[in-house]
Amino acid sequence: VSNAGVGMAGPLECQSLAAMQNLMDTNFFGLVRLVKEVLPDMKRRRGGHIVVISSIMGLQGIVFNDIYAASKFAVEGFCESLVVQALRFNVAISLVEPGPVMTEFEAKLYEEAERADYSRTDPETADIFTNLYLRNSKDVFSSLGQTPEDIAEHTLRVIEAARPPFRHQTNVAYTPMAALKHADPSGTLMTDAFYKLVFKYDAVLRLGLR
């Protein structure tokens, strides 16, 4: 089970390349290093199961989560490319894709975001992040967030499955979000829906969450 991960949220201009590289080294290359260690023996034995804790943000980018989503997209692409070869050796690969999870990890991330310096971006972007994104994120976590124990139960079901799924989303509330992307390959439907949700109907969104 690959579960190592770090988070990052905020305006792109305010994030250093060093921090971005550190995130990718943990979230993506950490997984690559693990798979390189365990896959050869699994192939020799012609049996095994690699379970990767990904994220719904590996399927759908979220505003102000550019680098974190990029790392999870990399995880998804890596596993999707590897799974067919692995199956030839009777090795299963499963991606567990949670939405928000209520942990100290997330709490620390948002506490740091509230204290951060946003002078390197323009005032409008800083205002959108602090007064729209952070406020809505707290409502999302309190309304839709899962416990670590819930994610563990989902992961156990994937591990024990007779035919392990390649993808398993733990929160049905995010299924429509992922479906939008597949409904319109041009991306227009998804982009328009998210733009309206963030900038036109944010009050309705917050009311619905509460």
Residue 129 near residue 85, CB atoms below 8 Å:
no
H or E stretch including 181?
helix 175-183
Which parts of the chain are beta strand (E)? 48-53, 91-97, 167-169
Considering 68, 133, 195, 201, which one is annotated as catalytic?
68
Residue among 108, 96, 119 nearest 49 (CA):
96
Q: Over 60: is that where the pLDDT of 209 sits?
A: no
Q: Over 70: is that where the pLDDT of 210 sits?
A: no
**More confident: 147 or 109:** 147
Q: What is the spatial distance between Cα 79 and Cα 101, in angstroms, rounded to a whole number?
A: 22
Length of the chain, in residues: 210
Residues 121-134: b if buried by 16+ CB within 10 A, e if exposed:
beeebbebbbebbb
Partners of 91 in the β-ladder: 48
Q: Over 90: is that where the pLDDT of 168 sits?
A: yes
Residue among 58, 5, 65 nearest 168 (CA):
58
**More confident: 177 or 64:** 64
pLDDT tens across 196-206, in order? Answer: 888 887 665 66
174 secondary structure, DSSP code:
G
Q: Is 145 helix (H, G, I), strand (E, B) or coil?
A: coil
Residue 77 CB neighbours (<10 A) = 12
Residues 2-38: b if buried by 16+ CB within 10 A, e if exposed:
beebbbbbbbeebbeeeebeebbeebbebbeebbeee
CATH class as words, domain 12-206: alpha beta
pLDDT tens across 51-89, in order? Answer: 999 999 999 999 999 999 999 999 999 999 999 999 999
Concatenate the DSSP letters of all residues of 105-143 into one string. Answer: HHHHHHHHHHHS--TTS-HHHHHIIIIIIHHHHHHHHHH
Q: What is the spatial distance between Cα 5 and Cα 28, in angstroms, rounded to a whole number?
A: 9
Phi, psi of 198 (to 5 degrees): -80, -45
Domain boundaries, the chain: 12-206
Residue 208 banded pLDDT, cuts 50, 70, 90: low
The mean pLDDT of the chain is 90
| 68 catalytic per annotation | yes
